[in-house]
Amino acid sequence: MHFVQCGNPGAKTVIFLHGGGLSTWNFRDEAEILQGRFHILIPILDGHHGSDQKFTSIEENAARIIRYIDSRFQGQVFLIAGLSLGGQVLVEMLSQRNNICEFAMIESTLALPTNATAMLVKPVFSLFYPLVKKRWYAKLQCKALHIRDSLFEDYFRDSSQIKKDDMIAFLKANAAYTVKDSLSHCCAKTLILVGGKERGIMKKSAKLLRETIPGSVLEEMPGYYHGDFSLNHPQEFSRKLLDWISDRTQ
């Protein structure tokens, strides 16, 4: 697994986990804002452009990052934040290792399996995959996903390079992911974020995560879409991260 890093290697380590179909640029601006305070790591999730492995499962991505943390940081980092698919990887990490981080931020993360959607991913996406390499289609996708215009070239470059089998695999995994019972033993101080304009199942997922993770806090952000916060409002996201740490260390 490839990691992009910046900041002070001697400072506390923060890991950002990008959304499905995206890449490290999902959190690039946050990394630039926070690199003076922290050592920042952003892994490229398996199956994405620039990764060194095909996508197999959310569980395996989580295990790979945990092994990396074990080898470099004695089994724990300061904070991990994840969006959507990256949020599911974070949830899985917290399930596999309840003290993998001191703080966690879970944004726009599906925690209720949508099995009908998972079954439709392969046949439906197989029809649309040739369009992934078309700029006009990528622009439509960016608009539908509410990704700001300044990130379009990043989105088009990376999404157009994802292999068909990998994209189908992580889309199916995203739709079918089920929260493990072991998440109830999570020790991280966890903030759960969901947009006020997200689908009902996303809000139900956020509620399930709050009910499952001991002491967690759920914030619904009025006016925000799926992934809107970290993708389009890096200054506000960074301030929220710092405030969350400050509030929980007093």
Per-residue confidence (pLDDT) for residue 83, from 0 to 100: 98
pLDDT band at 120 (very low <50, low <70, confident <90, very high): confident
Per-residue confidence (pLDDT) for residue 128, from 0 to 100: 84
Per-residue confidence (pLDDT) for residue 117, from 0 to 100: 85
What mean pLDDT comes out for the span 72-89?
Answer: 98
> How large is the greatest C-alpha to C-alpha distance in the chain, in angstroms?
53
Per-residue confidence (pLDDT) for residue 11, from 0 to 100: 97
Class in CATH terms, 3-113+178-249: alpha beta
Per-residue confidence (pLDDT) for residue 126, from 0 to 100: 87
Q: Give the count of beta carbons closer than 10 Å to the beta carbon of residue 39.
A: 20
Per-residue confidence (pLDDT) for residue 118, from 0 to 100: 82
Give the domain ranges of the chain.
3-113+178-249
Q: Are 199 and 118 within 8 A, CB to CB?
A: no
Residue 46, both tokens: 């398996």
pLDDT band at 250 (very low <50, low <70, confident <90, very high): low
pLDDT tens-digit profile of 208-241?
999 999 999 999 999 999 999 999 999 999 999 9
| Pairing state between β 39-43 and 3-7 | antiparallel
Per-residue confidence (pLDDT) for residue 186, from 0 to 100: 98
Backbone angles phi, psi at 162, to 5 degrees: -75, 130
The CA distance from 195 to 224, in Å, is 4
Query: In this predicted model, which residue has the larger pLDDT, 114 or 211?
Result: 211
The CA distance from 248 to 1, in Å, is 31
148 pLDDT more than 90: yes
The CA distance from 214 to 234, in Å, is 27
- Grouping H, G, I as helix, E, B as strand and the rest as coil, residue 224 is coil
With both helix axes pointing from N to C terminus, report the angle between 85-96 and 164-176 in degrees, rounded to the nearest 10. 60
The CA distance from 48 to 65, in Å, is 15
Cβ partners under 8 Å of residue 208, min gap 6 = 111, 112, 179
The CA distance from 43 to 82, in Å, is 11
CA 187 from centroid of its chain's CA atoms: 19
Report which residue type is found at 174.
N
- Grouping H, G, I as helix, E, B as strand and the rest as coil, residue 187 is coil
pLDDT tens-digit profile of 155-188?
999 999 999 999 999 999 999 999 999 999 999 9
Per-residue confidence (pLDDT) for residue 125, from 0 to 100: 84
Query: In this predicted model, which residue has the larger pLDDT, 71 or 52?
Result: 71
Average pLDDT, the chain: 95
